[in-house]
Structure 1
Amino acid sequence: MEISNLPISPSHRGKLLAAGYTTLASLSSISPVQLAQELNIALQEAYDILKVTSESRNFESCNEGLGEGASLFSHSRAKTAWDMLSEERSLRHITTGSQKFDAILGGGIHCSEVTEIGGAPGIGKTQLGIQLAVNVQIPVDYGGLGGKAVYIDTEGSFMVERAYQIAEACISNTLDKFNFQGMDMRACQEKMQLNNFLSNIFYFRICSYTEQIAVINYLEKFLEEQKNVKIIIIDSITFHFRQDFDDLALRTRVLSGISLKLMKLAKKYCLSVSVLLFNQVTTKFTEGSFQLTLALGDSWSHACTNRIILYWNGDERHAYIDKSPSLPSAAAPFSVTCEGIRDALPQYKRARTT
């Protein structure tokens, strides 16, 4: 059972979630005194919360030990390695808009996985997020997923005018490509309408880490109500947790709960939903010098399935696969153009600033 379903008052549930307690297990080793201090509540209230938690945990344990039923449950969740390979081969990908970028990803951003993309300001993270929110909507007949997008904006960087511009270019390029291949252009036009592209991006503006936690906890219900969501984008996962947290241990615990929730969503909607998290950079002192690294520390670096780092190489943007269980480390150049993310070309090089 999760904390959001615990039979306690809504205010206590909110305080627990804000403090990073998302499951019953996360409360298993805390004392009433410590809980009262962390939540700023009376000691008796802390005792009552832990009592309810203990009773609910015992109830779950009893249910797990119901013999045949529990056995059937465990076998129904088992998969063979052949099943897993077949699923992986049938996975669809969301194109980034750059063929070289897609190539190092094995075809694009993977569904059923949590992918983290980090880089310095101005490297193109938000541009890539908007591009993916548009590209996921390309109809299946024309190489896309025909899905919808959830865009969770914590920094206020999402630009609807830019989404309009990228969607317009996506429609134009798709029509040109498939008209050239001799497919029915009129049918493609009917499926790809500009107003539909914008209507299928569900936008959440987040102004605090508590709002961020609440929205992530709400996502599962939202996905059940809004069918055919194929990508969840959080831009960025980092912002409010760098601004509002001084307690690093608490921050680690909260982020751990968030990553588990997002992984659960990706796996629950296996083969259909991709979770994309953008991260910021920070400096780390190593080997006698300061170096740029992705924010949120070493613990967070293991929270996602794939980790991609965007960086400048002179005037050219590059994407590098830093961590993946299925992809080799590789880098590819890409550009941010007026049409969106594209392969790197000389005329799209970054303008020098003085």
Structure 2
Amino acid sequence: MEVMRLAISATQRGKLIAAGYTSLSSLSSVSPPLLAQDLNIAEAEAVEILKIASQSGRVDNAGGNQVFLIGAQSAWQMLHEDSNIKITTFSADIDNILGGGISCKEVTEIGGIPGIGKTQFGIQLAINVQIPVDFGGLGRKAVYVDTEGSFMVERALQMAEGCIENIENGDYARPRNTRAFKEKLHPEDFLANIFHFRICSYTEQIAMINHLDKWVTEHKDVKLVVIDSITFYFRQDFEDMALRTRLLGEMALKLMKLAQKFNLAVVVLNQATTKCTEGSFQLTLALGDSWSHASTNRIILYWKGDERCAYVDKSPSLPSASAPYSITSKGIRDSSKNYKRTKMM
């Protein structure tokens, strides 16, 4: 049971979430004085909140408290279960180093400096997850959590048109009645299948991620969640780094569980920063070393001369490798000299 469901006031729930207490487990070891301090409330009120949380999380039965373990599966099942479900990036070179594309049931982090194309990747994947099954796609929908206001519906329309063009050019498997099926593909339908959520604070971001489980349960045709970016509200106005680490850790855990439970792909976009190592500054992704373990796969986008490249920095199943790519008027594509450092919308 989550904090949002506790029988306390909306104000108290809001204060708990803002302070990083988003689950019952996060309240299980905190003392009333510390909770009162974190929430800026009276200690008596903190005692009452902890009492309600304890009662809500208690499992009573004649034999005492018990813990039940469910959901076990064999390694053989894990190997063969949905192992080929991928979302293409529309760059054959990048798909190749990713083993076919962005994997479902995993959290993939894509990071890099401004202007390298992170949002372009997010929008492209939100379009590509909708490629019909008859053409080799998943035929599903996407959730786009926008913290920076960088989602551009005009750009999404361009990419949808480019996606349909790719399909019409015969780049994918064809159904029997190809002509009739193509007539059903319209750019506006691709836009209608992207659920956009504009987030304006870190508390809204936490609440949104907490709500995703219920939301996806009600929209079972969603196969992709993009968070653009996971970083924005956690790089400013955060003096308490321990609180920030706890909040990020809980968000990462929820996103991993979401990907596993619904067999969908979670893609989090991250910003780049500089890190001083042995007297020299190096470019690295934001949110520190603790966050670097929050994703299953980590892809770093960077410039190599005048060419954009994607590098698999971390993955349990993929070797480290890099591949060039381009951002064209139609979206993400294989590298081409005609599309280097072109400024998009």
Q: TM-score range by the shorter chain?
A: over 0.9
Q: Is 1:98 aligned to 2:98, yes or no?
A: no
Out of 271, 275, 281, which is 1:280 matched to?
Answer: 271
Task: Output the amino acid matched with 2:74.
Answer: T
Q: In the alignment, is the contact (CA less than 8 A) between 1:95 and 1:102 conserved in 2?
A: yes
Q: In the alignment, is the contact (CA less than 8 A) between 1:3 and 1:21 conserved in 2?
A: yes
State the SS of the aligned residue for 2:110: strand
**Mapping 1:264-303, distance limit 5 Å:** 264-270=257-263, 273-303=264-294
How far apart are the structure 2 equivalents of 1:63 and 1:334? 62
State the SS of the aligned residue for 2:160: helix
- TM-score by length of structure 2 reads 0.94
Q: In the alignment, is the contact (CA less than 8 A) between 1:175 and 1:185 conserved in 2?
A: no
CA deviation map 1:259-312 (0-9, x unaligned) = 111111111112xx1100000011110022011110001111111111111011
CA deviation map 1:137-174 (0-9, x unaligned) = 00011011100011111111111100001100110111
Q: In the alignment, is the contact (CA less than 8 A) between 1:175 and 1:188 conserved in 2?
A: no
In 2 relative to 1, CA 9–63 (structure 1 residues): closer, same or farther, beyond 3 Å? farther
Q: In the alignment, is the contact (CA less than 8 A) between 2:327 and 2:342 conserved in 1?
A: no
CA deviation map 1:51-97 (0-9, x unaligned) = 2223334x237599677xx6xx53x51111111111153x3100001
How far apart are the structure 2 equivalents of 1:63 and 1:311? 60
In 2 relative to 1, CA 192–43 (structure 1 residues): closer, same or farther, beyond 3 Å? same
Q: Is 1:120 aligned to 2:113, yes or no?
A: yes
- TM-score by length of structure 1 reads 0.92
Compute the displacement of 1:24 (Å).
1.7
**Mapping 1:154-193, distance limit 5 Å:** 154-177=147-170, 184-193=177-186
In 2 relative to 1, CA 227–77 (structure 1 residues): closer, same or farther, beyond 3 Å? closer
Q: In the alignment, is the contact (CA less than 8 A) between 1:35 and 1:46 conserved in 2?
A: yes
In 2 relative to 1, CA 30–122 (structure 1 residues): closer, same or farther, beyond 3 Å? same
How far apart are the structure 2 equivalents of 1:113 and 1:33? 39
Q: Which runs of 5+ in 1 are unaligned?
A: none
How far apart are the structure 2 equivalents of 1:184 and 1:63? 62
State the SS of the aligned residue for 1:138: coil
More helix by share: 1
Compute the displacement of 1:4 (Å).
1.9
Count of aligned positions: 343
Q: In the alignment, is the contact (CA less than 8 A) between 1:138 and 1:192 conserved in 2?
A: no
Q: In the alignment, is the contact (CA less than 8 A) between 1:150 and 1:203 conserved in 2?
A: yes
Q: Is 1:328 aligned to 2:319, yes or no?
A: yes
How far apart are the structure 2 equivalents of 1:184 and 1:316? 40
**Mapping 1:81-230, distance limit 5 Å:** 81-87=75-81, 89=83, 91-177=84-170, 184-230=177-223
Alignment RMSD (CA, Å): 2.1
How far apart are the structure 1 equivalents of 2:16 and 2:172? 55
Compute the displacement of 1:187 (Å).
3.0
Task: Output the amino acid matched with 1:346.
Answer: K
CA deviation map 1:99-133 (0-9, x unaligned) = 00000000000001111110000000011111111
Report what 1:19 is aligned to.
Answer: 19
State the SS of the aligned residue for 1:302: coil
Q: Which runs of 5+ in 2 are unaligned?
A: none
Report what 1:256 is aligned to.
Answer: 249
How far apart are the structure 2 equivalents of 1:311 and 1:63? 60
Q: In the alignment, is the contact (CA less than 8 A) between 1:152 and 1:203 conserved in 2?
A: yes
Report what 1:53 is aligned to.
Answer: 53
In 2 relative to 1, CA 64–157 (structure 1 residues): closer, same or farther, beyond 3 Å? farther
Out of 58, 65, 73, which is 1:79 matched to?
Answer: 73
Task: Output the amino acid matched with 2:33.
Answer: V
In 2 relative to 1, CA 106–220 (structure 1 residues): closer, same or farther, beyond 3 Å? same
Q: In the alignment, is the contact (CA less than 8 A) between 1:102 and 1:108 conserved in 2?
A: yes
Q: Is 1:318 aligned to 2:309, yes or no?
A: yes
